[in-house]
Every structure is written in structure tokens, then in C-alpha cells.
Amino acid sequence: MAKLVEATHVTLGGEVGSSRTSTTSTRSMRWSS
């Protein structure tokens, strides 16, 4: 069966949805992977 994957940026404090968090995390991704 196909999968549902949830991908979430989360801070050390457990906060999600912060633009600072997602920007920092997005820019550090391994884009080649």
C-alpha cells in the first residue's frame, strides 16, 4: 500500500510553523538528496 508521510520543521522547543524555523531548516537541506 502507498504511504502517507508527514514532514515537519520543529524547533528545539517543539514549536512548529515558525517562519524562522522553516526558513533555517529549508536552507540547510541537502537539495541533492
Query: What residues make contact with other proteins under the rule CB under 8 A?
Result: 1-18, 20-21, 24-33
Tell the smallest beta-carbon distance from residue 13 to other proteins (Å).
3
Tell the smallest beta-carbon distance from residue 24 to other proteins (Å).
5
Residue whose grid cell is 517543539: 14
Do the Cβ atoms of 22 and 9 come closer than 8 Å? yes
Do the Cβ atoms of 11 and 21 come closer than 8 Å? yes
- One-letter amino acid at 9 equals H
Tell the smallest beta-carbon distance from residue 19 to other proteins (Å).
9
